[in-house]
Structures are given as structure tokens and as C-alpha cells.
């Protein structure tokens, strides 16, 4: 019996859903020719050619049921694990990559062929040299996946680097789930991942814990910081503030990146992220927690702004000499497309291809506002060759760190969060917000502020502080990365309020800024712990709101947020030369509800390393060998690594 035309259309619609169900086919934008044409993708993969057309895209034709030659499941692996992210109360983004290779495929070359239909006729098809893949997913409250509460399937192909990104819906708020991908109709399955939804908008929550990371440079060492939190199982969510990858070529033989040169093309960026996803602790973190992340500059290129980067500018000479024939805009789009393909995050505006700024509501407890202070619409920054005049523009009212669209959105979110009654506001910013005077640290210099941080955009910074102070918005926690150093400061509008460093009176919140996962310290990669602590003392001396500073250790920090207080724990990693679970507890801080400052005495008056404005640096894990003259770090905690799986 020949199927009816309506039945054929039903089959066609189902197939279309399997293609469009993979969010990555719409990335990085559905407009401006930056997304993929689903009509072309489906035709290329055998879904199909003919004359009738169906829907806006003309997806189906010739009155015959669609048919595609899918890749043999026995050839496939989930080569880069699983990940989840951007949780909502009723849904979460799930990610995987189903590929016949660890490497990425540069080719989308098409081949033509025929497939037999139900009536023994032959249908001509067009698909890439590597066939598409069908992937199904399931979500369960139980690790054994015995009860499935959300499921579906999606197609992927070399067009999107065999990545799969879906939104699993129908979930309960603030609930832990497990998930798994499978190659359709086979026993080939991914590792089981774990994720968690956020609370409902006005749901009361006792506490939520997050780990905060930034700046993971693959050649610099192993990503032990990611793994330690997973091994301790000590948080609910992960926040990553950027520099997930670096664009540079390999600078060390320790851990080679691919490709080994600086990256420019779409293939380059895909392959670089794929290299990073071979780190076992990064895979473990993605598999264990839902991530909420934003980019810094190195996901694209160093010191990015709206018209270029430090090593590629929007000029003909730079195009010819610096980029191997890739323009600023093309490089940016290559990086952005690869990032959205590989990261478990939502695009909240599919018509705005550079928008990554977005917000999350964690019940009545806190709002998390994630900014893009690097790439969206930033005015020119320090690029090496222009530093002499950028310092003259620091107070220019026209300079913007994030563009007017994002800036207005940011201020509105702060006000709305306060009015809706959220206890805390966490603001995820890439770069350090608090003033950092580096006069004594660097000696006599023309301008003592970092023009590539918030200090370089004083008008934008002052408008942010003005919003907080004039609207009487309290309980603000600024989060930062980028600097490869640890900083803890009272959040204060200096010169506009009567601030006391001793008591914290006059502040409007606190900034917690963290060091790098593995990127080297600006104090010097080979500096001793005492040399680094001396640099910290100089910075503390020149910045009254800076209460603790530390630059020796790589690491991370954790926040525990409750209605009563926010507590922060900083951890340092003694060695990145091997994959290990060693860490040092560096310092603990508390911010009480309504206090808008660090609790005194800051850090309880004692930290393990660095420098405090007032208090003791214990350094109990450091000893001096009088024979060799060397100092040694020892007696650190160890988080056991399970190598069985």
C-alpha cells in the first residue's frame, strides 16, 4: 500500500524535528547568514531533493518519504564526554559529541548517490563524505536510568563538528538528574552525566554552593582544579568566567595543543577546544555539574574589542601580515561558532550572534548576572602599540566596556533583582572591577591603573556604582577572573563615599576575584612564594579597599550562598605538573546579609598565603631548608583520584 501524502508529510515533519532539535544547527545566529541553512544541510545528507517543497524552507519534495544514510554506530564514539549547563527550573541544556574520530573534519565535500525506496524506485541524494549521526538522549532522577522523565533525539553531522546540544524539558525545579546519550538503535552509549535544575523564581532555598573558575591554559599544566571539586562533590553548580581556551600556539613541550600554531579558522577553533576536552578533570567536571559560563578574550583572541585584537586589527596591513588571510570579523565568527557548538549554554537571542550576556534566577536566594566585558561592543583597549594614548582616555564618557545595549540591560537587571526581593546579586564579570593602583608594585609609571580592566572604562564603572548607590541596592557580590591572581575587596565607590578600610563602612558589596586554573602568575612563573607575597604586600599597601591579595597559587574558589551569609573558600594547587588531587586551603571569607562588606576581622584574621590588610599570614605549609637555601611547600590536603573508570 502506497502511503498517503499526509503520512509522508508527517514523516517529513518528524525528520525535520530531529534536525532542528539539535540547537547547534542554529548557531551562532539564525540571521545574517551566520547560521546554517537547514534546507541545504538536509539535502546534503539525503533529506532530500525534488520539486514540491514543504514549509518555508522547502525541506521536502517529490512526494517520497525522506531517507538518509546514517553512519554505522560501530564506527562512533562519544569522544569528548558529556556536559550540561544553563539550568532553568524546568529544563537544562545537554551536550555531547558523537564522532568517528577524536580529530575534527575539515571537509564538507558532497557526494551523490541513490537509495532504494519502499516501491523499489531509487532516490537520488546528496550528503557529505561523512554521513550524519542520529543521537537519542534520556534524563532520569536515578543513576541507573530506570525511570525516564525527558527524552528525545537529534541529528548531527560534520556541519557542526558532530556536536549535539539539546534542551531537556519537563523537569522539576532544584532537582538532581542523570542523563545519557545513545547512538539511535544501538548499544553505543555515552558516559552518564549528572545535572541539576535551578529553583523556581520565588522558591525559598536554604543554601546553594558554586565553584568559580577562570583561565585554563592547556600547555601550562593539568586542570586539577576542575577535578578536585568533582572529587569532593562539594558544589551544586559551576561558574566559569572565561579563558576556557587560549588561542596561542604551543609554547611548551609539556602538553601540546592542536593545532600547534595560533588559531584563526573555524577548524582551528574546533580542534583547539577538542584538545582541551581531552583533559580528564575537565571532562569530569562537565560530567558532574551543570556549568554556567561566559567567555573572556582568549576564546577568540587576546585583548579583544569591537574592531580587533592585540595581534590582529581591522586594517589591510594587519589582514595581510598577521592573520593568514582571515579578517577580524571572520576570525571572531569562527571562534564564536565553535564556542557555541561545544559549550552547553543557551543563546538567549538567536538574532544576536555575539550575545552571551544573560541572567539566572536561583529562587528568592540570588540572581546570577553573567556579563560580557570583552567582546560584545567594547571600545578600544590596550593593544601594545597604542598604550601610550589609551591612558588618556580612561575617563572619557563615551568609552564603554560592554556597549549601550548590554549596559542598560545590566542596570535594569540589578534594579529588577532588588525589587523582586532576591537576597543577593552575583555579577559574573571577566575582569577585576575594584580599583587596582599598581604604583608601588611597578614603581614610578605614568598611569597606575590597568586600562584593560574596569579601571580603563571609568565612566562605565561609575555608572554601575551610581546605579547601586542611588538605587540603594545592597548585597552585591562581584565575581571576576582574568588576572591570574586572587583578590578580595570591599566593593566601594571611592572618592564618592566615606569608606573605612578598617570597618568596611561605606561599601555596597564585595568582590571575589580568583586566580587561574593553570595560566601563569603575572608575578612571574618562577617566583618563589615569598617573592609573590612581597608583591601582594605592595598591592595591599596602595589599595585600601583591597583586603586580601595572593599570587603564588593556581586554583579556584567556592561560594556557599544562604539567606544569612555568603561564605567564600579559596584553594591553591601546589603542582600542575601531574594530574593530582593536592590542594591548600588559602583563606575563608564571610559576607553577612545586609552588611555590604567583608566581615571583620577579614578572613578571621588569618590566611595561609598572600597579604592581608590587617591580620596574620600563617604559611604553616612552608619550610626553609637551611642547607640548600630553598623554601618548600608541603602538608597540603589530597583529594583522592579514582582511576578505575
CA distance 149 to 172: 10
Which pLDDT does position 125 carry in this prediction? 46
Q: Quick check: pTM over 0.85?
A: yes
Which pLDDT does position 110 carry in this prediction? 40
Helix axes of 403-420 and 458-470: crossing angle, nearest 10 degrees: 20
**Domain end residue (candidates: 134, 163, 196):** 196
CA distance 345 to 163: 13
CA distance 87 to 90: 8
Residue 10 has pLDDT above 50, yes or no: no
622, 579: one domain: yes
Residue 8 has pLDDT above 70, yes or no: no
Q: Is the separation of the CB atoms in 173 and 203 below 8 Å?
A: yes
Cell numbers placing 243: 579563558
Cα angle: 52, vertex 53, 54; to 5 degrees = 130
Point out the least confidently predicted range of 151-155, 156-160, 551-555, 564-568: 156-160
CA distance 586 to 572: 6
Point out the least confidently predicted range of 23-27, 441-445, 597-601: 441-445
CA distances in angstroms from 185 to 74, 101, 127, 131, 143, listed in the order given: 11, 20, 21, 16, 21
**Domain end residue (candidates: 163, 196, 229):** 196
CA distance 228 to 395: 42
Helix axes of 328-342 and 266-276: crossing angle, nearest 10 degrees: 40
Higher pLDDT, 408 or 645: 408
Q: Is the separation of the CB atoms in 558 and 522 below 8 Å?
A: no
- Domain contains 643: no
Confidence of residue 60 (pLDDT cuts 50, 70, 90): very low
Count of structural domains within the chain: 2
503, 438: one domain: yes
Domain, as residue range, for 328: 208-638
How far, in whole angstroms, is CA 612 from its chain's centroid?
A: 30
The long-range contacts involving 310-317, CB below 8 angstroms and separated by at least 24 positions, are 310/382, 310/383, 310/384, 311/262, 313/383
Cell numbers placing 538: 605592595
Give the N- to C-terminal CA distance of the chain in Å, as an integer.
Answer: 51
- Residue 270, φ and ψ in degrees, nearest 5: -60, -45
Q: Is the separation of the CB atoms in 452 and 390 below 8 Å?
A: no
Residue 389 has pLDDT above 90, yes or no: no
pLDDT digits 0-9 by tens, 454-469: 999 999 999 999 999 9
Point out the least confidently predicted range of 53-62, 125-134, 179-188, 217-226: 53-62
Question: Other C-beta atoms within 10 Å of 173: how many?
Answer: 17
Cell numbers placing 248: 596561542
Q: Is the separation of the CB atoms in 347 and 403 below 8 Å?
A: no
pLDDT digits 0-9 by tens, 510-560: 999 999 999 999 998 888 899 999 999 999 999 999 999 999 999 999 999
Residues 6+ away with beta carbon under 8 Å from 48: 42, 60, 61, 62, 64, 66, 67, 123, 125
288, 403: one domain: yes
Higher pLDDT, 352 or 339: 339
CA distance 416 to 418: 5
295, 399: one domain: yes
pLDDT digits 0-9 by tens, 598-625: 999 999 999 999 999 999 998 877 654 4
Looking at every residue in the chain, the average pLDDT score rounds to 87
Q: What is the three-state SS of 198-229?
A: CCCCCCCCCCEEEEEECCCCHHHCCCHHHHHH
CA distance 530 to 524: 12
- Domain contains 201: no
The CATH number of the domain holding residue 36 is 2.60.40.380
Residue 360 has pLDDT above 60, yes or no: yes
Average pLDDT rounded to a whole number, residues 361-372 = 98
212, 191: one domain: no
The CATH number of the domain holding residue 624 is 3.60.21.70
- Domain contains 644: no
Q: What is the three-state SS of 403-438?
A: HHHHHHHHHHHHHHHHHHCCCEEEEECCCCCCCCCC
Cell numbers placing 20: 532542528
157, 226: one domain: no
Residue with the three cell numbers 600556539? 249
Confidence of residue 11 (pLDDT cuts 50, 70, 90): very low
160, 235: one domain: no
479, 612: one domain: yes
Q: Is the separation of the CB atoms in 258 and 275 below 8 Å?
A: yes
Cis peptide before 200 (omega within 30 of 0): no
Minimal CA–CA distance to 211: which of 314, 327, 291, 128? 291
CA distance 152 to 538: 57
Exposed/middle/buried for 281, CB within 10 Å: 0-12, 13-18, 19+? buried
Q: Are strands 582-592 and 637-638 parallel, antiparallel or unpaired?
A: antiparallel
Cis peptide before 596 (omega within 30 of 0): no
CA distance 553 to 446: 30
CA distance 280 to 579: 9
269, 122: one domain: no
Residues 6+ away with beta carbon under 8 Å from 330: none
**Domain end residue (candidates: 169, 196, 223):** 196
- Count Cβ neighbours within 10 Å for each residue of 594-617 and write b for 16 or more, e otherwise: ebbbbbbebbeeebbbbbbbebeb
190, 329: one domain: no
Left if phi > 0, otherwise alpha if psi is -120 to 50, otherwise beta: which for 460?
alpha
- Domain contains 203: no
pLDDT digits 0-9 by tens, 156-192: 998 899 999 999 999 999 999 999 999 999 999 999 9
Minimal CA–CA distance to 357: which of 288, 416, 405? 405
Best-predicted range by mean pLDDT (31-35, 225-229, 377-381, 447-451): 225-229
- Domain contains 572: yes
Minimal CA–CA distance to 109: which of 44, 165, 24? 44
Residue 6 has pLDDT above 50, yes or no: no
221, 189: one domain: no
Minimal CA–CA distance to 583: which of 569, 596, 594, 600? 569
Which pLDDT does position 63 carry in this prediction? 35
Question: Is 287 in a helix, a strand, or coil?
Answer: helix
pLDDT digits 0-9 by tens, 299-338: 999 999 998 888 887 766 667 667 677 888 889 999 999 9
- Maximum Cα interatomic distance, the chain, rounded to a whole number of Å: 92
- Domain contains 202: no
Beta bridge partners of 85: 93, 291
Handedness of CA 313, 316, 322, 326 (dihedral sign): positive
342, 264: one domain: yes
CA distances in angstroms from 586 to 50, 438, 619, 625, listed in the order given: 66, 23, 9, 22
- Domain contains 400: yes
Which pLDDT does position 12 carry in this prediction? 47
Average pLDDT rounded to a whole number, residues 434-443 = 79
Amino acid at each position: 500500500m502506497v502511503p498517503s501524502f499526509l503520512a509522508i508529510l508527517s514523516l517529513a515533519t518528524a525528520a525535520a524535528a530531529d534536525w532542528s532539535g539539535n540547537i547547534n544547527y542554529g548557531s551562532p545566529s539564525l540571521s545574517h547568514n551566520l547560521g546554517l541553512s537547514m534546507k541545504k544541510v538536509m539535502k546534503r545528507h539525503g533529506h532530500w531533493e525534488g520539486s514540491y517543497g514543504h514549509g518555508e524552507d522547502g525541506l521536502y519534495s517529490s512526494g517520497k518519504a525522506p531517507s538518509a544514510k546514517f553512519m554505522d554506530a560501530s564506527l562512533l564514539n562519544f569522544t569528548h564526554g558529556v556536559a550540561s549547563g544553563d539550568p532553568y527550573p524546568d529544563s537544562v541544556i545537554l551536550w555531547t559529541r558523537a564522532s568517528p574520530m577524536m580529530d575534527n573534519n575539515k571537509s564538507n565535500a558532497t557526494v551523490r548517490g541513490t537509495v532504494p525506496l519502499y516501491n523499489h524506485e531509487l532516490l537520488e541524494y546528496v550528503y557529505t563524505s561523512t554521513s550524519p549521526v542520529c543521537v537519542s538522549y534520556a534524563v532520569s532522577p536515578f543513576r541507573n536510568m530506570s525511570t525516564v522523565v525527558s527524552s528525545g533525539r537529534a541529528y548531527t553531522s560534520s556541519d557542526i563538528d558532530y556536536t549535539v546540544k539539546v534542551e531537556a524539558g519537563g523537569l522539576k525545579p532544584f532537582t538532581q538528574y542523570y542523563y545519557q546519550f545513545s547512538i539511535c538503535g544501538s548499544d553505543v552509549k555515552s558516559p552518564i552525566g549528572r545535572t541539576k535544575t535551578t529553583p523556581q523564581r520565588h522558591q525559598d532555598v536554604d543554601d546553594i554552593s558554586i565553584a568559580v573558575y577562570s583561565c585554563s591554559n592547556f600547555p601550562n599544566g593539568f586542570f586539577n582544579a576542575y577535578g578536585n571539586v568533582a572529587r569532593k562533590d562539594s558544589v551544586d553548580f559551576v561558574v566559569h568566567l572565561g579563558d576556557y581556551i587560549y588561542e596561542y600556539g604551543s609554547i611548551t613541550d609539556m602538553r601540546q595543543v592542536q593545532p600547534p600554531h595560533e588559531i584563526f579558522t573555524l577548524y582551528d577553533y574546533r580542534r583547539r577546544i577538542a584538545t582541551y576536552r581531552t583533559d580528564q578533570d575537565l571532562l569530569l567536571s562537565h560530567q558532574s555539574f551543570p556549568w554556567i559560563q561566559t567567555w573572556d578574550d582568549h576564546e577568540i583572541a587576546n585583548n579583544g574589542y569591537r574592531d580587533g585584537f592585540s595581534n590582529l586589527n581591522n586594517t589591510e596591513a594587519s589582514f595581510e601580515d598577521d592573520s593568514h588571510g582571515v579578517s577580524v570579523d571572520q576570525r571572531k565568527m569562527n571562534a564564536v561558532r565553535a564556542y557555541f557548538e561545544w559549550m552547553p549554554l543557551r543563546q538567549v537571542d538567536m538574532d544576536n550572534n555575539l550575545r552571551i550576556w544573560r541572567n539566572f534566577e536561583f529562587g528568592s536566594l540570588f540572581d546570577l548576572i553573567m556579563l560580557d566585558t570583552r567582546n560584545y561592543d567594547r571600545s578600544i583597549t590596550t593593544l601594545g602599540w597604542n598604550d601610550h594614548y589609551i591612558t588618556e582616555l580612561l575617563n572619557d564618557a563615551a568609552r564603554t566596556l560592554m556597549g549601550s545595549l548590554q549596559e542598560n540591560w545590566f542596570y535594569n537587571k540589578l534594579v529588577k533583582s532588588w525589587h523582586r526581593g532576591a537576597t543577593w546579586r552575583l555579577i559574573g564579570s571577566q575582569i577585576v572591577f575594584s580599583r587596582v593602583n599598581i604604583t608601588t608594585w611597578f614603581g614610578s609609571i605614568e598611569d597606575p591603573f590597568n586600562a584593560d580592566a574596569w579601571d580603563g572604562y571609568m565612566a562605565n564603572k561609575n555608572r554601575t556604582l551610581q546605579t547601586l548607590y542611588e538605587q540603594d541596592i545592597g548585597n552585591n557580590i562581584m565575581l571576576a577572573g582574568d588576572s591570574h591572581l586572587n583578590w578580595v575587596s570591599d566593593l566601594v565607590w571611592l572618592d564618592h563615599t566615606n569608606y573605612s578600610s578598617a570597618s568596611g563602612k561605606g561599601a555596597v558589596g564585595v568582590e571575589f576575584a580568583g586566580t587561574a586554573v593553570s595560566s601563569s602568575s603575572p608575578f612571574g612563573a618562577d617566583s618563589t612564594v615569598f617573592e609573590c607575597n612581597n608583591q601582594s604586600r605592595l598591592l595591599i599597601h596602595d589599595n585600601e579597599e583591597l583586603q586580601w591579595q595572593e599570587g603564588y597559587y593556581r586554583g579556584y574558589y567556592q561560594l556557599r550562598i544562604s539567606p544569612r551569609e555568603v561564605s567564600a573558600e579559596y584553594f591553591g594547587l601546589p603542582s600542575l605538573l601531574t594530574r593530582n588531587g593536592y590542594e591548600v586551603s588559602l583563606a575563608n571569607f564571610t559576607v553577612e546579609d545586609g552588611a555590604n562588606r567583608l566581615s571583620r576581622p577579614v578572613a578571621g584574621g588569618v590566611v595561609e598565603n598572600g597579604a592581608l590588610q590587617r591580620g596574620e599570614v600563617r604559611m604553616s605549609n612552608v619550610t626553609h631548608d637551611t642547607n640548600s637555601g630553598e623554601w618548600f611547600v608541603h602538608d597540603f590536603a589530597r583529594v583522592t583520584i579514582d582511576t578505575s573508570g
